[in-house]
Amino acid sequence: MSYRVVHKFGGSCLRDSADLDRIAEVIQGDHQSIVIVSALWGTTDRLYRAAKEPRYASRLVHDLSAQHLRFAPGLDKSTNAHLFSLVLHSIKDSLRELAQRPEDKAALNRLLASGERLSALVVAHRLQQKGIDAYPLGAEDIGITLDGNYSATHVDLQASSTKLNRDTLKGTPVITGWFGEGHNGELAVLSRGGSDHSATAIAHLVKADEVILWKDVDGIFSINPRWGVRSKTIPYLGYQEAIELSLMDTPILHPSTIEPLIEFGIPLHVKHLYHEDDSGFTTIGPQKQNHLLKGIGCLPNVMSLGFSHNHVDAHQRHLVELLGKLAKEGINWWGLESRMGDSRLIVSQHDMHRAKEVFTKSNISPDIHQHLGLISLIGCDEKMFETIDTLLEDANFELTWLSKTSHSARVALDGEELPLALELLNRIMVRQVESSQPMIEQS
């Protein structure tokens, strides 16, 4: 069997017609390419807006037709012209249905999915012009099934494996990401960014040799650039490290992207579409122990809700009940400190009021404290934890360690400036690169 590579191109790599020429360059080689695409840059946002104002249907269809033909001249006269026309008519029909029934989830999903459908047609058409045996496929048409009705969090790998039409995956298929068939037979969509998960799920289903997520960034940075701290790209992350980082901070990866890769040990590369040869990128794969601090995830302004009970057994029962009720309400908790009848639970500021209501309904009046942030330390060991303790406490930060695993640790942080704490941690990572040994930075 030939070497199979799943290439995923997001909207940020589909901004200009020249991007399609670059896509043709990167997928050519002595392997089979399976291409997963998002909608062209900005298209999904336009479709969302149109769903709220369906009277603009005719103008939207005209504009989308013109935009996609600029990317792929001749598509409307090609062998896929009938598919192009069908998608445009589907947009009109969906908008008409939404004008009559604004809460029609099926019509909304059909409208939103048209962005990926048009993109697959455009990309396949341009690849064909480059001499590549490319053809568009709808995810639901080849058997991709999601784990919900109308909206979902994951591709249902078991159901998709049963339904997958593998005979269609010859040459260079260009498959729509982000959506699939729901359990009720209607289209279902993943959360925004879910086309990365589509790519890794398809890689799992075909047992691909590797996955490449093409982005407009040079991989995953050790500290999110939004904090204003200059950091470097992380060369390698283990699967669990990448999952932790995606949950805590980075917008580069959808949280469910990694899970389908683990069973078969499929490596994932995050690369810049135009900087592949002259800058860094991130590879994600099986765990490698190197005991170095690789990255920092950060949630600012988290809240802790504390409560206690004189009897340890009763306290444990209350804690289990609270965690169950929080889960039922869809409230994530990010850390738990619990000792002999005294517990403190960390939630995001966004979820604090709902979490407090859960406590109140359980006749518990929590002690509420706002923390400067919750930090996840990716890839380091106990010796490094001591180093971080010393460094941050010397800079007048107070740390509350919440959990420690073989791949990461979470700590609630109190102090004056969160960017300062991140800058101090970044110095540790810089010194590691320079000396290959964790060192305490003298401040």
- Using 50, 70 and 90 to split pLDDT, how confident is the model at 441? very low
Most confidently modeled range among 91-95, 317-321, 400-404, 431-435: 91-95
Encode pLDDT of 14-27 as tens digits: 999 999 999 999 99
pLDDT value for 439? 45
373-378 vs 295-300, strand pairing mode: antiparallel
Phi, psi of 102 (to 5 degrees): -60, -25
- Range among 91-95, 115-119, 376-380 with highest mean pLDDT value: 115-119
According to the model, what pLDDT value does residue 387 have?
86
pLDDT at 183: 93
Span 374-387, average pLDDT: 86
DSSP string, 272-299: ESS-TTTS--EEEES--------EEEEE
Selection from 69, 56, 57, 64 nearest residue 20 by Cα: 69
State the amino acid at position 40 in one-letter form.
L
pLDDT attached to residue 250: 63
Q: What is the mean pLDDT of the chain?
A: 90
CA torsion, points 252, 256, 260, 265, in degrees to nearest 10?
A: 50
Q: In what order do the strands lie in the sheet with 295-300?
A: 295-300, 373-378, 408-414, 398-404
pLDDT band for position 438 (cuts 50, 70, 90) = very low
pLDDT at 46 over 90: yes
Confidence of residue 432 (pLDDT cuts 50, 70, 90): confident
pLDDT in tens, 184-220: 999 999 987 799 999 999 999 999 999 999 999 889 9
The CATH homologous superfamily for domain 296-435 is VC0802-like (3.30.2130.10)
CA gap 172, 132 in Å, rounded? 7
Tell whether the model's pLDDT for residue 82 goes beyond 60: yes
375 versus 2: which is more confidently predicted? 375
Check pLDDT > 60 for residue 440. Answer: no
Q: 64, 91 in Cβ contact below 8 A?
A: yes
Tokens of 348: 């995001």
Backbone dihedral angles phi then psi of residue 66, each to the nearest 5 degrees: -65, -40
Domain with CATH 3.40.1160.10 in the chain: 4-216
Q: Is 335 helix (H, G, I), strand (E, B) or coil?
A: strand
Span 268-294, pLDDT tens digits: 999 999 986 656 899 999 988 777 899
- Rounded Cα distance between 378 and 236, Å, is 11
For the segment 98-107, the average pLDDT, to the nearest whole number, is 94
5-12 mean pLDDT:
96
Kindly give the residue spans of alpha helices, DSSP state H, lying in 72-206.
Answer: 81-100, 105-129, 157-163, 195-206
309: pLDDT confidence band, cut at 50, 70 and 90?
Answer: confident
Provide the pLDDT for residue 75.
97
Check residues 126 and 290 and name the one with the higher pLDDT: 126
Confidence (pLDDT) at 443: 39
Give tens-digit pLDDT for 245-275. Answer: 988 876 678 778 999 999 999 999 999 999 8
441 or 85: which carries more pLDDT confidence? 85
Alpha helix ranges (H) inside 53-80: 57-71
Q: What is the pLDDT of residues 335-349, one digit of tens each?
A: 888 877 788 899 999
Q: What is the pTM of this model?
A: 0.91
Which two structure tokens, joined as six digits, stand for 182? Answer: 């729901």
Give the pLDDT score at 86.
Answer: 97
Please give the CATH number for the structural domain made up of 4-216: 3.40.1160.10
If you average pLDDT over residues 73-92, what whole number do you get? 96
